[in-house]
Structures are given as C-alpha cells and as structure tokens.
Structure 1
Amino acid sequence: MTRYAMAVDLRRCVGCQTCTAACKQKNGTPPGVQWRRVLDIETGEFPDVRRSFMPVACMHCDEPACEEVCPTTATKKRDDGLVSIDYDLCIGCANCVMACPYEARSIVHKAEFAYGDKPMAHEAQSFDPARVNVSTKCTFCIDRIDLAEETGLTPGVDHQVTPACVNSCVSGAMVFGDIEDPDSEISKLLKENKSFRQNEELGTGPGVYYIWDKADEDNDL
C-alpha cells in the first residue's frame, strides 16, 4: 500500500526559507500563518558551536493525535498516509490545535490580508473563504497528490504532483515519495542514511524523517 512521506536532509538545509515562501505562495496563507517553518537551532558550547536548520510542518502521522480528538471527523488520515481536513465538517473547536504535538495547526477567525482589509491581486486569487474559522495546516499539497491519481504521474518525481516546498528547495534537502516503494528515492535515501523523527516517543508515527548521517554498512533500515 502507498505511504507518502517526506525526508529532510539536515546536512543540506541552508535555512534559506524558500520552502516557507513557496508554501505561502502556493496556499495563500494569511499574515502570521505559516504552514511550513524552518527552525534555527544552535547546539554545542563555545567555541565548538554548530548552527542547524530544521524545516517543520504537519507530520502526517500514522496515528494522528489531531484525528483522535476531532468531534466531527473533519480530520482524517487517508489510506496513502496524508492527514486531511474537511472544511465543511470542521467547526473550529481547536481541539486538534491543542492536541497536535508539533504546533502545526492554525485557526483564523476573520479574513486578513497584508495591507488593510482589501487583498492584493495575488491574495485575492488564492483567498479561500472556506479556510476562515476552521483549522488549517500543511496538506503535502494534497491537490497535487490527487492529480497524480488522475494523470498517472509520480509524486516526488514529477513536479506537477510534488509538494511545492520540495520543488522549491534550492539545496535538494527535501525529498518526497512513497516509502513503501523500495525503488523510490525516499526509500533509498532512508536506507542509506541514519534518520530520526520528531517526538517519536509519543507514538504518533510522524511521516517526516530527518537525515543526519550516513548509515552503517551493516544497518538494514
């Protein structure tokens, strides 16, 4: 069965925020709402200090905490691993916002634009009134994934059906695809390298893997 996931190579991420900008452009999120962020992390002690960058968003978990607390079934995990929100069913109760351990969800209660009450041309084009008073988050560009089903294109390979953040990554740090396919780029990358997932101890089964070093030769991931 298909299970879409994302891998982020922390050795390659330069913190340029291009993925953040691409996400905002693609999804038209209002001011102050970022479905994708890049954390700036400093580790070590002077003078041996290291600066790292870590892109974060919805983790599209195997066991989503947000789905469990949703009273209307608006939040659901699909068979392909993507966690979706049905805006027609969402009542904006914010249960999922509080339950998400990754702070990946947002709710806005009125239409907001960059300058005043009226949208600029590009804001008007991407504005979706259905996303007011409901929970929103990164969708892995779910519309593109659905397009793949119609066109036969492959997410993670063909740009038309790959998340905007992955397409925009200038350093090639982000990879998307089916981890159940042993021949996919993401499967090969995870097999060849050591990786971790955020807050794995919570049992949510995040669908975003962070790569940090080469795997041992005898390590069968």
Structure 2
Amino acid sequence: MVIDLFKCIGCDACTVSCKAENRTPPGITYNVVLEEEVGTYPNMRVRMTPRPCMQCQNAPCVEVCPVKASYRGEDGIVVIDANRCIGCRYCIAACPYGARSVDEGMSYRTEMQAADQVTVPEYGVERTGHIKDQGLQGTARKCTFCSHRIAHGEVPACCETCLGDARVFGDLNDPESAVSKLASSSRASRLKEELGTNPSVYYLR
C-alpha cells in the first residue's frame, strides 16, 4: 500500500469504513489517522499520517509469538490465527507501530440491535455472535488489509472509501503496477525503516 500524505485530508473515512467492514468492537480501531503539528509559528500546519498495519516482511510480532498464531501469508499479509492465539500480548508489545490490539470481549450489543449476529470476516471463518461467546476474548487483533475482500478481487475498504484518493493498493512485486511505481518514487519513504522491519506500507511526502 502507498499513502500520499499530500492527498490525505484527515477526514477519517478510512477509519470509519475499516471499523464498519471489520466489525471491530469498542476500543479497537485498525486504521487510525495520527495528527502532528509541524513547522514553527506562524508557519505551522497539521500533518495527517494514516497508520494501518505495516504488514512487515520482517515482522517483530511474528517473531515473538510463542505459539505461531501470527504469521505472514503467501500474499505477504501478516495475519493472526485466533484459535491458536493465547492472548500473551507479546506481539502487541513487539509491534513498533502500535498496530495491534487485544480483544477485551466488549460489544455494541447494548447500543445496536443484533450487533452480535454479524460475521467477523477477519478470522476467515463464518463466526457470528459475541467474541466472548466464541472463546476468543483476550486474543490479538489487527489490520489484515481486508484480506477477505482481496480474496474476492476487491481492494481494502480504506482504499475504496478514501475521499482524496490518497491510498493505492496492489502488488509490490509487479514492477508495472501503480503501487510499485509509486513505492519506487523519490518521494516514498517508510516508517521506522531503521528497525529493519521492511514495512509494506509506503508514504509519499
């Protein structure tokens, strides 16, 4: 994924669409937009930095998982096997981007009728009902680039709803793809590259 920071207007459409698509519980948001004031008065501005999971090629979260619940799939997306996860939270502590959360079993069941009857697509199976009822309370959760959408030839929800067209998704291994060309641009950089995580998310600055 490539995110053009000059096109991001901080509308949070990516945050809202991600939450709606992945049915995340209260307190868990996979796509956040970080705000930072840059410059000195009176020449100041607010810089918006969307932060999904970086889908690192050398993912620290995968390395520290004692039960191999976190792994990098053939498509390059780092995913979690919720049935294997023991909720030790090592992966949450290891992620240098703050892109992981723990499911505390909270629900919107008191605010929304039939809230616990919707499918939770990220687990890759037809799970419905409250996460606590599934025995998955306490497990780690994270952005998966909407892998359930990718499997059907669609782009992640955050890319589809971005009002400024700031996000581009595709195959980095294809030199002819738009995302590959943008990632090789002189404007492209990645967060915390010095850590050697080799993130799959590039930013145009």
Task: Give the TM-score band, short-chain normalised.
Answer: 0.7 to 0.9
Aligned residues: 193
Q: Does 1:36 align with 2:41?
A: no
Q: Is the 8 A contact 2:65 2:90 kept in 1?
A: yes
Alignment partner, residue 215 of structure 1 = none
Equivalent residue letter for 1:104: A
Match of 2:182 among 186, 189, 195: 189
Deviations 1:157-200 (A, max 9, x none): xxxx2100000001100000011111111112233441111111
Shift of 1:80: 2.0
Residue 3 of structure 2 corresponds to 8
Counterpart of 1:207 in structure 2 is 200
Q: Tell me the equivalent position of 2:124.
A: none
Structure 1 length-normalised TM? 0.82
**Which amino acid in the other structure matches residue 159 of structure 2?**
V
**Following the alignment from structure 1 to structure 2, what is the Cα–Cα distance between the partners of residues 208 and 178?**
12
Report the RMSD for the aligned CA atoms in angstroms. Answer: 1.7
Question: Matched residue of 2:170: which SS?
Answer: strand
Paired residues of 2:15 and 2:31 also in contact (CA < 8 A): yes
Conserved 8 A contact 2:70-2:81: yes
The within-5 A match list for 1:16-31 is: 16-31=11-26
Per-residue CA deviations over 1:33-60 (Å, capped at 9, x if unaligned) read 1011001111011011121111002110
Point out where structure 2 has 5 or more consecutive residues left out of the alignment: 121-127
The offset of 1:108, in angstroms, is 2.1
TM-score, scaled to structure 2: 0.88
Secondary structure of 1:43's aligned partner: strand
The sequence identity of aligned pairs, in percent, is 42
Amino acid of the residue matched to residue 162 of structure 2?
C
Aligned position for 1:152? none
Q: How does 1:54-93 map to 2 (within 5 A)?
A: 54-93=49-88
Q: Distance in 1 between matches of 2:150 and 2:52?
A: 17
Distance 2:182 2:113 in 1: 41
Match of 1:133 in 2: 138
Structure 1 residues 164 and 50 mapped into 2: Cα distance closer, same or farther (>3 Å)?
same
